[in-house]
Amino acid sequence: MKDIASLFDLTGKVALVTGGSRGLGLEMVRAFAMAGADVVITSRKREACEAAVHEVEAMGRRAIAHACHVGHWDEIPTLVDAAYDAFGKIDILVNNAGMSPLAPSLVEISEELFDKVIGVNLKGPFRLASLVGTRMVADGGGVIINVSSTGADRPTPRTTPYCSAKAGLNVLTIALAQEYGPTVRVNTLSPGPFLTDVAKHWPADRQGRRENAAGRNGRAEEIVTAVLYLASPASTYTTGAMLRVDGGFP
pLDDT band at 245 (very low <50, low <70, confident <90, very high): very high
What pLDDT band is residue 114 in, cutting at 50, 70 and 90? very high
144: CB partners within 8 A, 6+ apart: 92, 93, 94, 95, 129, 132, 133, 136, 176, 180, 184, 185, 186, 187
Catalytic one among 166, 180, 190, 232?
166
Provide the CATH topology of domain 4-245.
Rossmann fold (3.40.50)
Q: What is the pLDDT of residues 200-223, one digit of tens each?
A: 655 565 666 678 899 999 999 999
38-66 confidence digits (pLDDT tens): 999 999 999 999 999 999 999 999 999 99
Active-site hit among 21, 148, 149, 232: 148
pLDDT, average across residues 165-188: 98
Q: Is 180 a catalytic residue?
A: no
Percentage of the chain modeled with pLDDT above 90: 82
Active site residue 148: yes
Residues 6+ apart with CB under 8 A from 12: 36, 37
Q: What's the pLDDT at 208?
A: 63
What is the mean pLDDT of the segment spanning 227-236? Answer: 97
Catalytic residue among 13, 21, 43, 162: 162
Residue 5 predicted with pLDDT over 90: no
